[in-house]
């Protein structure tokens, strides 16, 4: 799983947790705008983050929640518990999705029709709250219309039959339907698809036509406009009016997957063979249908397929092909040819012929979906009644509900079922509560499982048959229905794999391990005391043994704590692409940035201290190093310059290299410049090697750019970079070849928490010197020390090394003490690339210490890097040789 997703999941969990808390708090203080803003911001952020990944369901639900919160925040609707419930439910849904993503492991959320449906339903319920509540907040809304209109548009029953999406099949030409039928009989699944892209979809980067052309070739298709096309000169090409309809030889599940980002814009109906066998055409008369039906019926009952087919063919020849009866006969023949055993379908087709002929048929055609619209209306009304608040406009609401119900039942021809409603309404109005009406609704219209056999039934049956009430999440407030995605957070507590820890806690841990190391370091002293003071050698050895164990554990512990503090350098690197792009753009240069080793890790402090120096170096490279495209072409280089920033670990250090293939640095120019600025004198001008000249760029107050640009060269120069790097015990190294480019190499410690120092003794005091600086320690005989112009020097391995006495540096009025053989102890330290010998009285062991910088008034003492506590309780001052000089 990639780190971004990891972070997203852990952040989202936090966010969901906070959202839940805020929702609860809001229930107590619904007018707290600050809390509301905070809540909105959380949901908004969560939604935005989810958009980074391929989780359309999550984004959808959060978007719905955000919209709802927005209306609440604007004060368009008031906050209440009935609002908190669906919001909490939405958060639970998101949480469940996070679990699924985590369980999946690969960061993908496989499409799942059920989940998509749940997301759509949840979003719908959230959006419905916006409209429903906004309308209820207008007290005088008593008409049934607005309330029923608050049900999702897909449930509304359109008046225009041609637009009736629930029965799209009649619009498909018979030939295409028969084609689909044949395919389905052969086992292929086919789906009906209606895709209405939303009007603004082009602005969301969608291309509906691309979506649709990616599907397999449809058996039938129609591209139409949602409204008549405007005149060409009034056409807005970017307002999408398209409406695609097609029959696709594809599984509905795959289709759902294909359109998983826009489930609300498509309607997918899995096709069944029987759904397609609908005769279409003009009604007929004057055909000997009755006789045929008689024969057909007997053939059908006796299973005589051939006879039925023969009779049908005969009638087909007699009838004109445009007639409905001809269509029915063609279907009958097709069914007989493909599925001779499907007598039910055959019977249905015969019934169709009979009905068309108007013979012996007292069964008024009852469309299978008669019950459906009022079921939706009823469930919506039930939902409204279930609202637990008692607004001042309650009577209006109750009347509206009653009116809606009356309209719904009357339209379905079931006025009889309205019995008792008026009484219930009256009782409800008297009691000023919705419960009597709700009870009436529950008693008279008990919900039934979805999927009642849609076979044509007589009206009387429908009247007694309970109306199917599809349970939409959110539509049921508090009746404890089982919902897969409605489970509460605590049902399934997923322990997060990562925890967020305050940095202060880690720092504390760091300090503790530091003290632990100090305490551990006390043991060798104790061992020494046991031996020298108390004379118990045995004990001394045992203490040393214990020390060994403790030492190992402490080391590992320190290592483990270090690991916690490690950050990848990408933390700093990630902003470079943008920086380089913008800077290069401003300078009119073409630059290709190459980042390498971004996963190299180092201590947080080290990484953070790197940010500024690196930015400075990169700006320098872009501004002074890389040439303009014209100059590059003239020099025979590729137009685009290359800037490489690489990081890698080298033993206990991190090395960062910034290299460009620009014009490089001309040592002669540096020399001249340094001389002009008075940084070097005339002699040095002659003497300096090229490399030494290059290092002059690090000298304070040095800037070679002829012009001060707004990018680099603000007089801060590279000396600031060097100081910043030195502050974290890093070193910097510059290599450059004129015409070929420049390379800067930064070497930094992995961590700066624990420092390894050598203890030295001078004038009876102990001091520390960082081991990073120590090149070697030697004993130099006093006779080997020569004075050149008052400067003590000695020759070490054929090289002249200047010597200074530590007591002189520290202004201690004592001479350095040689050992019994008359030799002086010398610590050779490396400062930049020069060696310097510091004469001390004695060199002792090295210890790990936690270096604390000197604070307060002592902070001005630049000669010391800091102080540390030693194992024996004494304070050790650690020298900073560079500053000491």
Partner 1 sequence: MGIEIDDNTLRVTDMLGVEDAEILLDWLLKHPEGNLDLAGCTHLHAANLQVLMATRPRITAWPEDARPADWLRHALNQEE
Q: Name 14's Cβ contacts closer than 8 Å, sequence gap at least 6.
A: 500
Provide the minimum distance between the beta carbon of 242 and partner 1 in the complex, in angstroms, as a whole number.
6
Quick check: helix, strand or coil at residue 679? coil
Is position 209 an interface residue for partner 1 (rule: CB under 8 A)? yes
Using the rule CB under 8 A, give the single segment among 235-243, 360-368, 404-412, 614-622 that binds partner 1.
235-243
Is position 197 an interface residue for partner 1 (rule: CB under 8 A)? yes
Query: Which conformational region is residue 616 in: left (phi greater than 0), alpha (psi within -120 to 50 degrees), or beta?
Result: alpha
Is position 322 an interface residue for partner 1 (rule: CB under 8 A)? no
Quick check: helix, strand or coil at residue 575? coil
Q: Which is nearer to partner 1, 176 or 615 (CB)?
A: 176
- 184 CB-contact burial (10 Å; exposed 0-12 / middle 13-18 / buried 19+): buried
Using the rule CB under 8 A, give the single segment among 232-240, 320-328, 517-525, 547-555 that binds partner 1.
232-240
Is position 175 an interface residue for partner 1 (rule: CB under 8 A)? no
Is position 224 an interface residue for partner 1 (rule: CB under 8 A)? yes
Question: What is the Cα–Cα distance from 750 to 797, expressed in whole angstroms?
Answer: 32
Q: Which is nearer to partner 1, 221 or 544 (CB)?
A: 221
Residue 269 phi, psi (nearest 5): -120, 120
- Nearest Cα neighbor of 256 from 138, 424, 96, 115 is 115
Q: Which is nearer to partner 1, 209 or 534 (CB)?
A: 209
Using the rule CB under 8 A, give the single segment among 76-84, 127-135, 239-247, 542-550 that binds partner 1.
239-247
Is position 223 an interface residue for partner 1 (rule: CB under 8 A)? yes
Question: What is the Cα–Cα distance from 849 to 869, expressed in whole angstroms?
Answer: 7
Using the rule CB under 8 A, give the single segment among 225-233, 364-372, 395-403, 729-737 that binds partner 1.
225-233
Provide the minimum distance between the beta carbon of 581 and partner 1 in the complex, in angstroms, as a whole number.
24
Exposure letters 9-41 (e unless 16+ CB within 10 A, then b): bbebbebbeebbebbeebeeebeeeebbebbbe
Is position 297 an interface residue for partner 1 (rule: CB under 8 A)? no
Using the rule CB under 8 A, give the single segment among 209-217, 353-361, 467-475, 809-817 that binds partner 1.
209-217
Provide the minimum distance between the beta carbon of 164 and partner 1 in the complex, in angstroms, as a whole number.
20
Using the rule CB under 8 A, give the single segment among 231-239, 256-264, 390-398, 685-693 that binds partner 1.
231-239
Provide the minimum distance between the beta carbon of 195 and partner 1 in the complex, in angstroms, as a whole number.
11
Using the rule CB under 8 A, give the single segment among 7-15, 228-236, 357-365, 740-748 that binds partner 1.
228-236
Is position 230 an interface residue for partner 1 (rule: CB under 8 A)? yes
Q: Tokens for 537, please give them.
A: 């050698």
DSSP assignment of 85-149 equals: HHHHHHHHHHHHHHHHHHHH-SS-----HHHHHHHHHHHHHHHHHHHHHHHHTSTT--SHHHHHH
Question: What is the Cα–Cα distance from 331 to 312, expressed in whole angstroms?
Answer: 10
Question: What is the Cα–Cα distance from 494 to 13, expressed in whole angstroms?
Answer: 10
Q: Which is nearer to partner 1, 165 or 175 (CB)?
A: 175
Q: Tokens for 339, please give them.
A: 């599925």
Q: Which is nearer to partner 1, 242 or 528 (CB)?
A: 242
Question: What is the Cα–Cα distance from 771 to 785, expressed in whole angstroms?
Answer: 25
Q: How many residues bind partner 1 (CB under 8 A)?
A: 26
Q: Which is nearer to partner 1, 198 or 368 (CB)?
A: 198
Question: What is the Cα–Cα distance from 325 to 632, expressed in whole angstroms?
Answer: 83
Whether residue 671 contacts residue 690, with contact meaning beta carbons closer than 8 Å, is answered with no
Is position 219 an interface residue for partner 1 (rule: CB under 8 A)? no
Provide the minimum distance between the beta carbon of 245 and partner 1 in the complex, in angstroms, as a whole number.
11
653-660 sheet: strands from edge to edge = 591-596, 641-650, 653-660, 741-749, 731-737
Using the rule CB under 8 A, give the single segment among 105-113, 220-228, 506-514, 664-672 that binds partner 1.
220-228
Of residues 140, 227, 233, 710, which one binds partner 1 by CB under 8 A? 233
What kind and span of H or E run contains 830? Answer: strand 823-831
Q: Which of positions 242-261 make contact with partner 1 (CB under 8 A)?
A: 242
Q: Which is nearer to partner 1, 237 or 788 (CB)?
A: 237
Q: Determine the angle formed by the axes of helices 81-104 and 3-28, rounding to 10 degrees.
A: 160
Of residues 140, 217, 491, 502, which one binds partner 1 by CB under 8 A? 217
Q: Which is nearer to partner 1, 54 or 206 (CB)?
A: 206
Question: What is the Cα–Cα distance from 86 to 483, expressed in whole angstroms?
Answer: 13
191-195 sheet: strands from edge to edge = 220-225, 242-248, 191-195, 266-270
Using the rule CB under 8 A, give the single segment among 236-244, 418-426, 475-483, 689-697 that binds partner 1.
236-244
E strands of 372-422, at which residues?
A: none
Provide the minimum distance between the beta carbon of 28 and partner 1 in the complex, in angstroms, as a whole number.
49
Question: What is the Cα–Cα distance from 145 to 399, expressed in whole angstroms?
Answer: 12
End-to-end CA gap in the chain: 53
Is position 235 an interface residue for partner 1 (rule: CB under 8 A)? yes
Three-class SS of 555-568: HHHHHHHHHHHEEE
Using the rule CB under 8 A, give the single segment among 210-218, 397-405, 785-793, 861-869 that binds partner 1.
210-218
Of residues 152, 168, 208, 662, which one binds partner 1 by CB under 8 A? 208
Taking CB under 8 A as the rule, which mask of x and - marks residues 16-55 in contact with partner 1? ----------------------------------------
Of residues 105, 161, 232, 535, which one binds partner 1 by CB under 8 A? 232
Provide the minimum distance between the beta carbon of 595 and partner 1 in the complex, in angstroms, as a whole number.
32
Of residues 149, 238, 479, 484, which one binds partner 1 by CB under 8 A? 238
Of residues 77, 129, 212, 572, which one binds partner 1 by CB under 8 A? 212
Q: Which is nearer to partner 1, 266 or 569 (CB)?
A: 266
Q: Which is nearer to partner 1, 114 or 163 (CB)?
A: 163
Of residues 144, 240, 769, 803, which one binds partner 1 by CB under 8 A? 240
Q: Tokens for 38, please give them.
A: 């905070």
Provide the minimum distance between the beta carbon of 262 and partner 1 in the complex, in angstroms, as a whole number.
13
Taking CB under 8 A as the rule, which mask of x and - marks residues 735-774 in contact with partner 1? ----------------------------------------
Residue 449 phi, psi (nearest 5): -60, 150
Question: What is the Cα–Cα distance from 785 to 573, expressed in whole angstroms?
Answer: 50
Q: Tokens for 266, please give them.
A: 């498509």
Provide the minimum distance between the beta carbon of 368 and partner 1 in the complex, in angstroms, as a whole number.
30
Using the rule CB under 8 A, give the single segment among 203-211, 311-319, 437-445, 588-596 that binds partner 1.
203-211
Is position 229 an interface residue for partner 1 (rule: CB under 8 A)? yes
Q: Which is nearer to partner 1, 221 or 677 (CB)?
A: 221
Q: Which residues pair with 765 in a beta bridge?
A: 762
Question: What is the Cα–Cα distance from 601 to 610, expressed in whole angstroms?
Answer: 13
Residue matched to tokens 């019977």: 347
Using the rule CB under 8 A, give the single segment among 226-234, 316-324, 512-520, 557-565 that binds partner 1.
226-234
E strands of 364-481, at which residues?
A: none
Using the rule CB under 8 A, give the single segment among 240-248, 436-444, 837-845, 870-878 that binds partner 1.
240-248
Question: What is the Cα–Cα distance from 548 to 568, expressed in whole angstroms?
Answer: 33
Is position 171 an interface residue for partner 1 (rule: CB under 8 A)? no
Residue matched to tokens 């070697």: 776
Residues that bind partner 1 (CB under 8 A): 197, 201-202, 206-210, 212-213, 217, 221-225, 229-230, 232-233, 235, 237-238, 240-242
């Amino acid at each position: 799983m990639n780190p971004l997703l990891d972070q997203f999941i852990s952040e989202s969990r936090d966010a969901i947790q906070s959202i839940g808390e805020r929702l609860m708090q809001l229930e107590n203080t619904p007018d707290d705008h600050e809390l509301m803003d905070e809540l909105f911001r959380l949901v908004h952020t969560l939604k935005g983050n989810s958009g980074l990944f391929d989780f359309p369901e999550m984004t959808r639900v959060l978007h719905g929640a955000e919209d709802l919160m927005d209306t609440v925040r604007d004060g368009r609707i008031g906050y209440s518990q009935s609002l908190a419930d669906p919001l909490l439910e939405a958060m639970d849904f998101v949480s469940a999705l996070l679990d699924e993503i985590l369980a999946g492991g690969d960061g993908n959320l496989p499409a799942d029709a059920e989940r998509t449906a749940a997301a759509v339903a949840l979003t719908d319920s959230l959006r419905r709250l916006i409209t429903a509540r906004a309308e209820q907040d207008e007290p005088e809304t008593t008409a049934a219309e607005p309330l029923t209109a608050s049900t999702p548009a897909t449930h509304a029953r359109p008046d225009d039959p041609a637009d009736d999406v629930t029965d799209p099949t009649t619009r498909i030409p018979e030939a295409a339907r028969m084609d689909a039928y044949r395919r389905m009989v052969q086992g292929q699944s086919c789906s009906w698809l209606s895709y209405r892209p939303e009007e603004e979809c082009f602005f969301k980067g969608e291309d509906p036509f691309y979506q649709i052309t990616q599907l397999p070739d449809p058996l039938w298709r129609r591209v139409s406009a949602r409204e008549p096309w405007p005149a060409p000169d009034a056409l807005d090409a970017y307002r999408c009016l398209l409406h695609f309809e097609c029959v696709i030889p594809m599984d509905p599940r795959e289709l759902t997957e294909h359109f998983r980002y826009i489930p609300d814009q498509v309607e997918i109906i899995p096709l069944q063979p029987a759904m397609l066998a609908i005769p279409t055409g003009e009604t007929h008369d004057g055909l000997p249908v009755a006789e045929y039906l008689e024969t057909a019926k007997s053939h059908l009952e006796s299973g005589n397929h051939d006879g039925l087919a023969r009779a049908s063919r005969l009638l087909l020849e007699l009838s004109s092909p445009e007639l409905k009866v001809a269509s029915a006969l063609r279907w009958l023949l097709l069914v007989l040819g493909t599925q001779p055993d499907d007598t039910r379908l055959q019977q249905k087709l015969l019934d169709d012929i009979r009905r068309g002929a108007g013979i012996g048929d007292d069964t008024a055609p009852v469309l299978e979906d008669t019950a459906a619209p009022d079921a939706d209306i009823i469930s919506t009304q039930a939902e409204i009644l279930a609202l637990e608040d008692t607004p001042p406009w309650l009577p209006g609401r109750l009347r509206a509900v009653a009116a809606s119900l009356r309209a719904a039942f009357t339209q379905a021809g079931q006025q009889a079922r309205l019995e008792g409603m008026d009484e219930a309404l009256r009782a409800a109005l008297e009691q000023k509560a919705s419960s009597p009406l709700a009870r009436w609704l529950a008693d008279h219209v008990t919900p039934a499982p979805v999927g009642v056999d849609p076979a044509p039934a007589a009206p009387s049956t429908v009247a007694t048959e309970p109306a199917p009430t599809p349970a939409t999440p959110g539509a049921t407030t508090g009746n404890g229905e089982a919902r897969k995605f409605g489970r509460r957070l605590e049902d399934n507590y997923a322990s997060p794999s990562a925890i967020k820890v305050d940095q202060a806690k880690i720092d504390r841990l760091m300090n503790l391990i530091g003290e632990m190391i100090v305490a551990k370091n006390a043991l060798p002293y104790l061992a020494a005391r046991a031996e020298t003071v108390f004379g118990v050698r045995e004990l001394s050895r045992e203490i040393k043994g214990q020390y060994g164990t403790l030492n190992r554990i402490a080391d590992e512990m320190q290592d483990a704590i270090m690991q916690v503090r490690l950050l990848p350098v990408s933390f700093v690197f990630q902003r470079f692409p943008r920086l380089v792009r913008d800077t290069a753009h401003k300078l009119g240069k073409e630059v290709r940035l190459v980042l390498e080793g971004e996963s190299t890790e180092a201590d947080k402090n080290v990484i953070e201290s790197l940010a500024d120096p690196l930015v400075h170096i990169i700006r320098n490279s872009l501004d002074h190093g890389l040439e303009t495209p014209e100059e590059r072409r003239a020099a025979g280089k590729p137009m685009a310059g290359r800037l490489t920033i690489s990081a890698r670990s080298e033993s206990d250090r991190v090395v960062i290299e910034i290299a460009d293939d620009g014009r490089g640095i001309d040592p002669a120019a540096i020399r001249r410049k340094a001389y002009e600025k008075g940084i070097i004198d005339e002699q040095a001008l002659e003497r300096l090697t090229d490399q030494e000249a290059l290092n002059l760029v690090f000298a304070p107050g040095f800037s070679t750019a002829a012009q001060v640009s707004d990018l680099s060269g603000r007089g801060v120069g590279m000396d600031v970079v060097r100081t910043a790097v030195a502050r974290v015990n890093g070193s910097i190294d510059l290599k450059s070849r004129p015409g070929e480019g420049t390379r800067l190499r930064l070497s930094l410690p992995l961590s700066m928490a624990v420092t390894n120092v050598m203890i030295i003794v001078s004038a009876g005091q102990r001091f520390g010197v960082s081991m990073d600086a120590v090149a070697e320690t030697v004993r130099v005989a006093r006779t080997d020390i020569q004075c050149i112009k008052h400067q003590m020097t000695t020759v070490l391995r054929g090289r002249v090394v200047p010597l200074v006495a530590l007591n002189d540096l520290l202004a201690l009025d004592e001479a350095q003490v040689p050992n019994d053989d008359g030799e002086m102890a010398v610590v050779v330290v490396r400062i930049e690339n020069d060696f310097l010998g510091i004469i001390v009285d004695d060199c002792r062991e090295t210890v790990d210490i936690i270096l604390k910088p000197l604070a307060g008034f002592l902070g001005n003492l630049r000669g010391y890097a800091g102080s540390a506590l030693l194992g024996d309780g004494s304070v050790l001052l650690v020298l900073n040789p560079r500053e000491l000089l």
